[in-house]
Amino acid sequence: MGVRVAASADVAESASLGEGTQIWDLAQVREGAVLGESCIVGRGAYIGTGVRMGRHCKVQNLALVYEPAEIADGVFIGPGAVLTNDTYPRAVNPDGSLKSAADWQAVGVTIGEGASIGARAVCVAPVTIGAWSTVAAGAVVTKDVPDHAIVVGVPARQVGWVGHAGHPLRREAEFLVCPVSGTTYVEHEGSIREVVPE
């Protein structure tokens, strides 16, 4: 299938793009970034220096993924979402001099397999977004998100659980059930686990 890069995109020579990856108009992929196979980077999106992204990820239009983000397979990053990298941002030092790269330490956002970050959500580094979790549109994440959790609001707070299909799980007696796949989970000590049929 090959790699497709739009003529107006800016992809550094040292970036690595997996087979089948597509980079759309005006997107920028910086030096040393590694994208797995079959990823899509939308119009005007930014992928920072040395960012690591797994297979089958989608980064929608105008999303900003700053280094040193680590993104697992199958992650969705919605339009205009931002993954930050500076806990205490300042343009200048206390003496008024312009900050340079040597004046601060970049910290990253880590996103687990299959997770989804909604449109215009902000993940404030350093945080870990758990596998198969969902961050609602417009949420501001300031603390770690458990696997399969749904978080909403500013600051983001957990309001439920989500299955692999992306739909909120329904409570049925002591179980949580995916309305799409029928997969059953149980809640235990702040997390959920799938019930495997015997």
Residues 160 and 71: their CA atoms lie apart, in Å, by 23
Among 100, 36, 101, 95, residue whose Cα is nearest residue 70:
36
Q: What is the pLDDT of residue 101?
A: 83
Residues 86 and 139: their CA atoms lie apart, in Å, by 18
Q: What is the pLDDT of residue 103?
A: 85
Per-residue pLDDT, averaged over 42-46, amounts to 98
- Is the pLDDT at 55 greater than 90? The verdict is yes
Q: Residue 85's pLDDT band (boundaries 50, 70, 90)? A: very high
Query: What share of the chain in percent tops pLDDT 70?
Result: 99
The CATH architecture to which 4-162 belongs is 3 Solenoid (2.160)
Residues 30 and 33: their CA atoms lie apart, in Å, by 6
pLDDT in tens, 186-198: 998 889 998 887 7
The whole-model pTM stands at: 0.94
Q: What is the pLDDT of residue 34?
A: 98
3-state secondary structure of 103: helix
Q: What is the pLDDT of residue 196?
A: 82
Q: What is the pLDDT of residue 81?
A: 98
pLDDT in tens, 110-158: 999 999 999 999 999 999 999 999 999 999 999 999 999 999 999 999 9
Residues 161 and 28: their CA atoms lie apart, in Å, by 34
Structure tokens at 164: 């692999």
Per-residue pLDDT, averaged over 159-170, amounts to 95
Per-residue pLDDT, averaged over 78-101, amounts to 93
Break the chain into its structural domains and give their ranges. 4-162, 163-198
Using alpha carbons only, give the angle 145, 151, 156 rounded to the nearest 5 degrees.
85
